[in-house]
Structure 1
Amino acid sequence: MPVSVCHGWVEVRTKGFNDIINITPQVRQFVKEKHLKEGQLLIFINGSTAAISTVEYEPGLLQDIPEMMEKIAPMNRRYHHDDTWHDGNGYAHLRSTLTGTSFTVPVIDGQLVLGTWQQIILLDFDNTSRQRRVVLQFVGEME
């Protein structure tokens, strides 16, 4: 079969300040609607204060992740970025850099290959709410 490429988006309104949103249902819907069969699906957030990752989406981790980030890159300290732009979100850029802005997941037999408790998440670290657009790009076989 020839290799195909297709793309789409997941639109998400976030609250900022470590908002963690499970986008797995929207990504699964994309796979279903586009009839994806075998290949690689890239999930990418095109912002420098947000991230894409995977986690067991449960209440304990939804508290643990922001607490961990606050220890690593606290909101209430001075960052050189803030001196440059005066927007107070230097910490958000660092958190995005640490976590990463993309995740690639295999698609096999029309299904995302995720662990039993593994969900795809969007993390918004910025200091304001935003409308985020997550880019989905598939390379592989389609039905």
Structure 2
Amino acid sequence: MKQSASTLAISTPGRALIEFTRDVENWVGDQGIGTGLLTLFCRHTSASLLIQENAAREVRGDILDWLDRIAPEDGGWLHDDEGPDDMPAHLKSLLTGVSLSVPVVNGALALGTWQGIYLAEHRARPHRREVVLHLLGE
């Protein structure tokens, strides 16, 4: 059994879904592991990770709009230490999750045809986010 770990830094423009599938694919390909399991972990409480369609751009906008309806900035939240988008960002992260598991088969991610890996930035202003990658296999 072999394992590898690394951290990807992702700069965000503010509220957005940023696809970083290609970065993950390249890293996995460099590890020399044919069969295994990749775990991705977002080291933040106001950003999250998703596997979602990567063909139609409208999907990303619809997801962001839906999250805004579920956790609006004007929701009467008590926690607003960093501004009105602070607590809604935490709730959106809670809903979408901070970790993913992706099987690796024949040295490649076993994603479906239209699946991509995204960092969801839930804050209005730009950030530098970190995603830890851990691959275990042989």
TM-score of the pair, normalised by structure 2: 0.93
Stretches of structure 2 that go unaligned for 5 or more consecutive residues are none
CA apart distance, 1:86: 4.9
Deviation at 1:8, TM superposition (A): 1.0
- Determine the structure 2 residue equivalent to 1:132: 129
2:14 to 5, 16, 38: 16
Match of 1:102 in 2: 99
CA distance in 2, matches of 1:5, 1:80: 43
1:29 paired with 2:26, answer: yes
Aligned-pair CA distance for 1:87: 3.3
- Structure 2 residue corresponding to 1:77, chosen from 53, 56, 75: 75
CA distance in structure 1 between the partners assigned to 2:57 and 2:20 by the alignment: 16
Match of 2:49 in 1: 52
Q: Is the 8 A contact 1:92 1:127 kept in 2?
A: no
2:63: which partner in 1? 65
Partner of 2:83: 87
CA contact (8 A) 1:42 1:136 kept: yes
Aligned residues: 136
Deviations 1:64-123 (CA, angstroms, capped at 9, x unpaired):
0111011100123321222xx353310000000000001100001101000000011110
Q: CA deviation at 1:56?
A: 0.8
RMSD: 1.2
1:121 corresponds in structure 2 to 118
TM-aligned CA deviation for residue 44 of structure 1: 1.0
Structure 1: 5+ residue runs without aligned partners?
Answer: none
Q: Give the counterpart letter for 1:90 in structure 2.
A: M
Please say if residues 40 and 99 of structure 2, whose CA atoms lie closer than 8 Å, have aligned partners that are also in contact.
Answer: yes
Distance 1:20 1:86, change over 3 A: closer
Please state whether the residue corresponding to 1:36 is helix, strand or coil.
Answer: coil
- CA shift for structure 1 position 24: 0.4
* 1:127 CA drift (Å): 2.8
> Percent of pairs identical after alignment?
32
Change (3 A) 1:124 1:86: closer
